[in-house]
Amino acid sequence: MDLSLAILLAAFAGGLFGAAIGGLPAFIFTGFTVIAGVAVGVSGSDFDFLTNVAFGPVFGPHIAFAGGAAAAAFAARRGGIENGRDIAYSLAGVNDPIVLVVGGLFGAGGYIFQQLLVGIGFAPYTDSIAFTVVVSALVARLVFGRTGLFGSLDPESEGRGRWLPAGERVWLDYQQGFLQAAILGIGTGLLSAWIVTAFAEANPDYIAAATVLGFGISAASLILLQVGFSCPVTHHMTLPAAVAAAAVVTAGGAPALAVILGAGAGFGGAIIGEISSRLFLIHGDTHIDPPANAIWIMTTLVIVIGLLLQAMGFPTRA
């Protein structure tokens, strides 16, 4: 656990900057820095670019994205923006310095909370960064929101039920169908899992870097969403798929098994993401991130299942 003052100040700055440019733009930068970090890692550099930049105080989702999302909730509460769920809005445009400070405070808080998860030994059993993003968003909803933790249903929503999105009560209308989400999850899961097996075949030391490459590609692709294209959101599919594939490969399993189980994890991430959007997001007035919720849940499931199989002596080798 590293709670140094220098990193804490950097995390405050990271959250502030995430608020200034917007949560989604900050996360897009996360994607590009993950891709760069993988390249740096496999090139043999001694500097841990992934930990210090992509997942650290600069663009760590629990810092920059979470700071941006919380600042948007605060800005909406103060009347600076209309929609507290708008994570694409660059909040420097609100011209309210306190909004940026709130982003910084949530960035610093995200850093402290994630480090506490590491310190108590919880981090190895989940994705502590994604879990922190969710907890940060829940706090922002309770502090700045008006709709309650699970949102409030208007008369139209009550008529059709919480679990049937429509109208303005949607996350991504072109992805909200469970079949569409499932196909995306399987397809992107297959691709992300294959990346892991390909890297592992080249050099087993590359597995850790390869595990986040699909996630980085998914996050970077959201630049298309930022500029108005109907880009699928898939990082909650590609990351669990890669984690599952890495677990299989590390245990000595066959690449084909790794890819198949990776597709299953991608499918699971897709479905949990859609369920999370209906449970927390679409009926609320602040952003509680469906992908982050899916990532920590699926990562926990993959790790726990792997530990159980290992304890049972289940054979993994082909």
Residues 226, 116 within the same domain: no
Same domain, 172 and 123: no
Residue 201 has pLDDT above 50, yes or no: yes
* Whether residues 129 and 221 fall in one domain: no
pLDDT number for residue 281 = 97
Count of CB atoms within 10 A of residue 223's CB?
16
Split into its structural domains, the chain has a count of 2
Residues 90 and 167 in one domain: no
- Which residue, 145, 172, 194, sits at the end of a domain? 145
Both 252 and 184 in one domain: the answer is yes
Is the pLDDT at 108 greater than 70? The verdict is: yes
pLDDT band, residue 5 (cuts 50/70/90): very high
One domain for residues 211 and 235 = yes
pLDDT higher than 80, residue 136: yes
pLDDT at 318: 44
pLDDT band at 272 (very low <50, low <70, confident <90, very high): very high
pLDDT at 100: 98
Task: Tell whether 168 and 91 lie within a shared domain.
Answer: no
**pLDDT averaged over every residue in the chain:** 95
| Predicted confidence (pLDDT) at residue 315 exceeds the cutoff of 70 | no
Last residue of a domain, one of 145, 170, 200: 145
pLDDT at 2: 72
- Expressed as residue numbers, the domain containing 317 is 152-318
Both 76 and 204 in one domain: the answer is: no
User: 102-111, 259-268, 299-308: which has the minimum mean pLDDT?
Assistant: 299-308
